[in-house]
Amino acid sequence: MEDLWLSRAKRLQAIASTGLGFCRDPFDRERYQEIAEIAHAMLADIGNVPIDRIPTLLSDFAQGYATPKVDVRGAVIEGGEILLVRERSDGRWTLPGGFADVGRSASENVVKEIEEEAGVKVRARTLYSLRHKAKRPYEPDARDFYKMFFLCDRLDRALPQPGLETLDVGFFPPDALPELSLGRIIAKDIHDAFAHSGEIVFD
């Protein structure tokens, strides 16, 4: 569960972003800008990061109504093992996936991400989980996310290969997972994939 003050700071930031996106009165814009600066300072303090990094995390800040981002992840399970990729950014492992692109459905996005990050072609079979990141024990984040998890089936037998954003790729049994990138996934995301696929799961 997300820290209470982190949740409040993110909500203030969203209010300021929406206000700046729609407000035309110069005095109200000044007030929303002040709220934004306070929220950014709170987020920088909570995350122990430089304050100038906070606004850059939100590419659409003050561009309209503030909404959560969408993160899509795909689970490919074969022979009691699940496909994971090792992220170049932190050296840890996750289900392949990332931000959803505009113009593609969620399932189309996850198919694209798996091919880019793991070098295999898949089809998305079913959505097995939809989560609000702030309500689960992921690493904290200044951004707000909805996380969509899909069970996927391979369409070819190509040997998995890392992509531009990944260092390595491999299949792992659920009882011997590598170090996970906890900002992206938690072990429950993987165990739930096995549970929904009908394969054995270890808790």
Looking at residue 51, what DSSP letter applies?
G
**CB distance 56 to 78 below 8 Å:** no
Measure the CA–CA gap between 15 and 32, rounded to whole angstroms.
Answer: 8
Tell me where in the chain the CATH 3.90.79.10 domain(s) lie: 69-197
Fold of the domain built from segment(s) 69-197:
Nucleoside Triphosphate Pyrophosphohydrolase (3.90.79)
Q: What is the pTM of this model?
A: 0.75
Over residues 101-114, the pLDDT tens digits come to 878 999 999 999 99
- Enumerate residues 6+ apart whose C-beta is below 8 A from 55: 40, 61
Short-list 123, 43, 50, 114, CA closest to 83: 114
Q: Which helix (H) or strand (E) holds 170?
A: strand 166-172
Over residues 144-160, the pLDDT tens digits come to 889 999 999 999 888 99
